[in-house]
Amino acid sequence: MKLVETIPVGNVLGECVLWDERTSSLWWTDIEGRRLHRFDWNDRALHTYATPERLTAFGLVEGRDQLIAAFDCGLALFDPQTGTKGPCLKPEGLVAGTRMNDGRVDRQGRFWVGSMMEAESAAATGRLYCVASGRIETRERGIGIANGLGFSPDSRWCYFADSRQGVIWRYGFDAATGQLGSREVFARSQGGAVPDGAAVDGEGYVWSAQWGGGAVVRYAPDGRTDRVLEIPVLLPSCVAFGGPDLTMLCVTSARQGAGEAQTGAGNLFVYNAPVRGLPESRFKIDGWPGTAAPRR
């Protein structure tokens, strides 16, 4: 795989990168920098929007220009162009010392998002939430740092990582109801790295950013390591497939902590990928408090 482009943004904590095929643009957040970026693929222009709070994760919304966004306060609809944030819904268990973290929309239009402990010494009381029909339901408890959400191409499996434990789990997934089945260890990070943001490709392989390891690992559907892509910075944080044909692997990174003194830390790196990714699903807004039916 060849590095074909570097977008020099110097994010404090770049995260939650995703491709919007409708506008041919790449989105990602700088959580601690309180900025949201959109890179226009056609004119190569970078647009940056201030966020009213730390924006940890987001998803595209069906029929709207808004995003479903995870902020410090909880979950809200957010319009980057105007900076308007709708009323915030606070999940149960989001208390002092915790914050929202990674999230992704499943193929049925639900938004999944997890929380994390801000202090390394704090007890693991983070949760994994499922957001649908205007309700926020807890699906998992006892999480240190929620990360690496993804779904297999056939929606048979849900992948979810706890960075604090260095493990990626695989759950059986009921696509019709959004319920998680039994959990099994899918993979464990090695060499002091921990699993961060992830993406599933069209062949059902999981690409996981290895925070602290300077790499992205591609795991086969049986959990074995298929490929290791070395990244020129220590703290890669999230991955997504982008470009018009979804064959570009886009990797965010951070310059906080151990990456502060590294040249290029916090930039976004784009690689030619040997496989195609999957289109991002859009959040079904039906039932969200105070909203009318989406524009079609």
Q: Is 196 annotated in the active site?
A: yes
Nearest CA among 132, 103, 97 for reference residue 116: 97
- Matching residue, tokens 């990797």: 251
Provide the 3-class DSSP secondary structure of residue 258.
helix
Confidence of residue 294 (pLDDT cuts 50, 70, 90): very low
Buried b (16+ CB within 10 A) or exposed e, 189-224: beeebbbbbbbbbeeebbbbbbbbbbbbbbbebeee
Contact status, residue 163 vs residue 196, Cβ threshold 8 Å: yes
Confidence of residue 260 (pLDDT cuts 50, 70, 90): low
According to DSSP, the residues that pair with 117 across neighbouring strands are 98
Tens digit of each residue's pLDDT (9 = 90 or more) over 123-142: 999 999 999 988 999 999 99
Tens digit of each residue's pLDDT (9 = 90 or more) over 186-239: 999 988 999 999 999 999 999 999 999 999 999 999 999 999 999 999 999 999
d(CA 50, CA 37): 9
Over range 81-101, report the average pLDDT: 93
Contact status, residue 160 vs residue 102, Cβ threshold 8 Å: no
Backbone angles phi, psi at 259, to 5 degrees: -90, 0
Mean of pLDDT over the chain: 94
Secondary structure (H, E, C), 74-119 = EEEEEECCCCEECCCECCCCCCCCEEEEEEEECCCCCEEEEEEECC
Catalytic entry in 43, 196, 226, 245? 196
Provide the 3-class DSSP secondary structure of residue 200.
strand
User: Does residue 296 register a pLDDT over 90?
Assistant: no
Please compute Rg for the chain using Cα positions: 17
Query: Which amino acid would we find at residue 252?
Result: T
Q: Which CATH architecture has domain 3-272?
A: 6 Propeller (2.120)
Sort residue 285 into left (φ over 0), alpha (ψ -120 to 50) or beta.
Answer: alpha
Nearest CA among 230, 199, 281, 237 for reference residue 33: 237
User: Does residue 121 register a pLDDT over 90?
Assistant: no
d(CA 27, CA 161): 22
The residue ranges of every structural domain in the chain are 3-272
Tens digit of each residue's pLDDT (9 = 90 or more) over 192-204: 999 999 999 999 9
Residue 263: predicted pLDDT: 87
Residue 22, CB-side half-sphere exposure with 13 Å CA sphere: 10
